[in-house]
Homo-oligomer: A and B are copies of this chain.
Amino acid sequence: MPADSPVFSRIAIVGLGLIGGSIAFAARRAWPSTHVVAIDREAVLREALARRAIDAAGTDLSAVRDADLVVLAAPVRQNLSLLHQVAAHVSASAVLTDVGGTKRAIMDAAARLPAGTPFIGGHPLGGGARGGFEFATASLFSRRPWILTPPAGGGPPATAGRPAAIGAAVDRLSAFVTGLGAQPAIMAAADHDRLMALISHLPQLAVTALMDVVGSVATSGGLRLAGQGLIDTTRLASSPAGVWRDICATNADEIARALDLLIERLSDLRSDLQRAEIVDAMFQQAAQWRAELMKGRD
């Protein structure tokens, strides 16, 4: 598909925050002829129109009616409650997706939609600690993974029994997110949630708990003496509560499993502080995984 032929000609974005706004900017950069309508609070829509992120401001959910791609880009639990209302307005030929940080809850809800509305879960990775349309940028997804979770039975093309409509929707969405600069990766929702609990949710919660504990015991006077180590480590501690409240609620089982692993590791370490060879081994393993994490990055 040539870069100048839009994958979707009319896009509706429900929720114009960091991700929704960045999709608008990136889609218009990739395909200038694409028409973008967004639904959000009036002040946000006014700013988005002024910054030419969108073509039209939707006043209610019926504004998704003419779109061939509808993106739910509100916080996770808001997407869950919007899904059925939005699906009622969506045209039969449209593809429906979301950008939430957990995938089983929305896929379960989508499985209860009337037959014929293809819903493919989506999760663009990366982003920043700061949310909101004011930080939206066309380059947010550049070279970052964008996970797509088809409904069960609608996995990678080789999977037998994959319904044709789902397959076509996955292909179009893959082409779309590639056009936004991202690298699509297809994964089952359960695998997504298990992996994210480890590489995203656990680090966020560990750092939030750490900052809370250190701050409340060391207080302001102690924090003044903290070095760059604590500063780098706790950057995520300023992440917005609203996003994480929903992620915790909709991935609680996998997050609890990941927390158990960390708690167990810290408890073991607590008993082994005087055993040099054990402390050494943990630092060496951690340094190796850190090197692995940084492989191929700047």
Contacts and interface: CB of A to CB of B under 8 A. Distances in A.
B229 A265 contact: no
A203 interface: yes
Interface residues of A, number: 91
Interface string A271-298: 0011010011011111111111111110
Copies in the complex: 2
A266 to B, nearest CB: 5
B289 A209 contact: no
Interface string A227-264: 11111111111111110110011001001101111110
Contacts of A282: 208-209, 212
Interface stretch (A41-49, A104-112, A213-221): A213-221
B279 A234 contact: no
Nearest to A260: B270
A290 to B, nearest CB: 4
Interface of A: 125-129, 144-145, 147, 185, 195, 198-200, 202-218, 220, 222-242, 244-245, 248-249, 252, 255-256, 258-263, 265-267, 269-270, 273-274, 276, 279-280, 282-297
9 tightest CB-CB pairs across the interface, nearest first? A215-B289, A241-B283, A252-B273, A237-B290, A211-B286, A208-B286, A237-B286, A199-B226, A209-B265
Given A213-B258, A213-B262, A213-B265, 9 more contacts: A199-B218, A202-B213, A208-B286, A212-B282, A212-B289, A213-B261, A214-B289, A229-B235, A241-B283
